[in-house]
Chains A and B, each alone.
Chain A
Amino acid sequence: MKLTIQVNEGPYQHQSSDSAYYFTKAALDKGHEIFRVFFYHDGVNNGTRLTTPPQDDRNIVKRWSDLAEEHGLDLVVCVAAAQRRGIVDDGEAQRNGKDATNIAPGFRISGLGQLVEGGVQSDRLVVFGD
């Protein structure tokens, strides 16, 4: 089955991001196709490489990056939500005159159309969040 995953909450405060990760991993292990993982609302905070959790805790961002590298996942951060919350890649830094970037490896910033396209193209849209 072809799936699009939507992650609506940031890391650590809510379990949603953990659940989305484990669901995505399990779906891949079962042979399903992940069309895209779309990060929206505070979910965009899953895409900052500047996160530094304690060493005895899980690293949620790195976990997504590693999964993306392993499976060629398309991890998309919503641009409008990212601009509000300070998630920045090279293009955004240039466009908006920012002095730094923080996007994590494997993530890219794009528009909401990517989410709607996920709904159109996939057999199921699976949403994680409150």
Chain B
Amino acid sequence: MSEETKKFMYINRKAPYGTIYAWESLEVVLIGAAFEQDVSLAFLDDGVFQLTKGQDTKGIGMKNFSPTYSALGDYEVTKIYVEKESLEERGLTLDDLQHLVWEDEDEDYAEKDSIRLVSRAELAEVIAASDVLFNF
């Protein structure tokens, strides 16, 4: 395997259950974590719904995979960008999303927020600075 570290960005743009993209994106993220790259996730457009708390999928007979997002910190996936405009356009605020955290082992395992609320323009800069884009 190559020793270089690349900036991986996983872009999530779709609602969680209408299509399988959200779940199969998360599967790539979990597998990809083993490759020790510099990983970021972005949630925009209907993708912001993927992070909402209190998801209940009983009525549609599909697996509720939303608890998996809270495990991302353990996979050292600590940078989760959420686009502010996408939230606002859908009447959502940060309070509607899961509180995702990671433990910073360099600071005595202090719990830190994983979610970074960014504007559309700021997210564009983050994406532009990435090496590898996975778009789901």
A residues engaging B (CB < 8 A)?
Answer: 6, 40-41, 80-81, 84, 111-113, 115-117, 119-121, 125, 127
Contact = CB atoms under 8 A, between A and B. Distances in A.
Contacts, number: 48
A127 B135 contact: yes
26 contacts: A6-B134, A40-B24, A41-B21, A41-B24, A81-B24, A84-B20, A111-B31, A112-B32, A113-B31, A113-B34, A113-B35, A115-B28, A116-B8, A116-B31, A116-B32, A116-B37, A117-B35, A119-B8, A120-B2, A120-B4, A120-B35, A120-B37, A125-B132, A125-B134, A127-B133, A127-B134
Interface of B: 1-2, 4, 6, 8, 20-21, 24, 27-28, 31-32, 34-35, 37, 132-135
A83 B135 CA distance: 22
A41 B28 contact: no
Contacts of B132: 119-120, 125
The binding surface of chain A is classed by DSSP as helix
A44 to B, nearest CB: 11
